[in-house]
Amino acid sequence: MILDPIVPRILSVRRIPGADPALLRAYGADPERHRALGLITCDQDDPTYVALDEATKHAAVDVVFARSFYAGSGHASGRLSGEILGVLAGADADEVDEGLAALVRCLEHDACFYKADDKGTITVFPHVIASLGRYLSAQAGLVAGQPMAYLVAPPMEATVGLDAALKAADVRAVKVFPPPTETNFAAAWLSGELAACQAAAEAFAAAVIEVGRVPRER
Amino acid sequence: MSFTRTMVQDLRVRLAGADPLPPPPPVPEIPLPPARVFPSPKRRSPFAAAAARHTTALVGIGHVGTRYATDVVLQFQAELAVAHGAVHTELPEDWAEKNGLLPLQSRVREHREFLLRPDLGRRLDEPSVARLRERGRKGVDIQPILADGLSAVACMGAGRELLDSFVKSCEARGFSVGTPVCARFARVWLEDEIGEVVGAKVAAILLGERPGLGTGDGLSAYLVYDPKVGRTDGNRNMMSNIHARGVPPEQAGKRLAALAGAMLTQRTSGVPLDLAPLRGELGDAVGGGYRAPDPRVRLVSVGEPK
């Protein structure tokens, strides 16, 4: 059914309690402050970015590394690769555990892609973050605690959808990721009041569904 | 439910309203499970049977697969309905006067408030205090109080009988008894204020007790020596389960009078009160010995399984 959630599959979650300084440096962590790493791979990248951000709200952890893999989980390098590797770094293993728990909770119960057509051959991610954590707020140049709409869809749908979203409510495009991203989707981050973000996300999802129904106007 | 998932769910409903979604895929045919019959056990577990003789609790009731048997469920629902009915019954405003009792009311204004605010049910409202000052006999040995408590059904049922039996027994023992009053929306601790206003040595409140499964008509009696606002439950003696299937009101009245007598003699009540001298009069109610449980009253009749 349209707009059924597609629950992300968490493919691996591991923890390195005392990581080697060289590894810490290579993945963007600071050996002075960080000793433990928490790693996750998942078959949906954008929900994982949201979940990594969620983790920074629940524990004293930093998201030091988060990269999507080329062409997405359909073309993964192994059965545990999925389409993203996210790395949390913290001062000790307990903090990292807390962070990973929040991350997994968010992936299981909150952030996910939705089907934009009956069969799920088009997917959409019209996610509203009510309160940004430290990771995405820094990435977006916003203040932690602000709301943000995180919108993702395939290239054509996303482009039409983004236009609809920007016109639907009083929102500002903070960052637009035109296609192709690593996973060949297109994305946008919109900032505004929570109600405006919600209206924009709804307009985005509706437009993506509409494009799926009428792919060719002529 | 997360913010976004709720939002998307609402959006789906809205989109469906404007443009109906395709029909859901047909439900695949579900094969019927193999039919299973659970015959009633020919022999009950001897342990369950033995345990059931010592309690009215629901033990040894058997099962059907993973569920209770229908008669057990019906019995439970019927008993629960009795309890619900009792809690939600209200004592009519003119009931006290019709029964020749001095009507009093707590600071509670309506029944729902009574259930939610025990603190208000423990104090008299101002007109009641004035009425009690004006019409209540002062400086008596025992002040009897009839009240609705959590079951007006019980108060209206055996309440009058218990009050009469108690007053008669007290008078027979030569105690001076205060004007019988009837308090509406009353909690147990209301006896402290009533007793204090009339300056009674012992205040006795007889009120409907919190209904349990199958018993909506049970009365309890709480006695306190030297009643004053601020007395605690440690200062009280109580007798519960006063109803036809427990302690009959006639007998309870006599026992309560004996208890009040002990309070007047020992000039205390509650934990410090020594019940040992009363063993003869209170019998097994003093506690200690084994008492066979009363048989459970069946509200639902079932035919014997074949």
- Give yes or no: residues A88 and A177 share one domain: no
| Residue B35 pLDDT class (50, 70, 90 cuts) | very low
Q: Residue A62: pLDDT above 60?
A: yes
Q: What share of chain B is helix, strand, coil (3-state, %, to 5)?
A: 40, 15, 45
- Give yes or no: residues A127 and A92 share one domain: no
- Give yes or no: residues A37 and A85 share one domain: yes
Examine the fold and report which residue of A91, A111, A131 is the final residue of a domain before the chain moves on: A111
pLDDT at residue number B82: 84
- Give yes or no: residues A11 and A107 share one domain: yes
In what helix (H) or strand (E) does residue B238 lie, and over which residues does it extend?
Answer: strand B236-242
Q: How far apart are CA B29 and CA A79, in angstroms?
A: 34
Domain-wise residue ranges, chain B:
95-282
pLDDT at residue number B2: 86
- Give yes or no: residues A103 and A152 share one domain: no
Examine the fold and report which residue of A81, A111, A141 is the final residue of a domain before the chain moves on: A111
List of chain B residues whose C-beta atoms are within 8 Å of the C-beta of residue A205: 8, 11
Domain of A46, CATH number, reads 3.30.70.1710
Q: Residue B170: pLDDT above 50?
A: yes
As a whole number, mean pLDDT of residues B134-138 equals 94
Give the pLDDT confidence of A82-137 residue by residue, as tens digits: 999 999 999 999 999 999 999 999 999 999 999 999 888 999 999 999 999 999 99
Q: Per the CATH hierarchy, to which homologous superfamily does domain B95-282 belong? A: Ethanolamine ammonia-lyase light chain (EutC) (3.40.50.11240)
Q: Are A50 and A127 in contact (CB under 8 A)?
A: yes
Domain that holds residue A144: 116-213
Q: How far apart are CA A197 and CA A203, in angstroms?
A: 10
Is A169 inside any structural domain?
yes
Structural domains of chain A, count = 2
- Give yes or no: residues A56 and A75 share one domain: yes
| Residue A194 pLDDT class (50, 70, 90 cuts) | very high
Is A72 inside any structural domain?
yes
Most confident of A5-14, B78-87, B207-216: A5-14
Examine the fold and report which residue of A83, A111, A139 is the final residue of a domain before the chain moves on: A111
- Do the Cβ atoms of B5 and A198 come within 8 Å? no
In what helix (H) or strand (E) does residue A34 lie, and over which residues does it extend?
Answer: none
- Do the Cβ atoms of B15 and A118 come within 8 Å? no
List of chain A residues whose C-beta atoms are within 8 Å of the C-beta of residue B24: 1
pTM metric for this prediction: 0.49
B50 touches chain A (CB under 8 A): no
- Give yes or no: residues A91 and A15 share one domain: yes
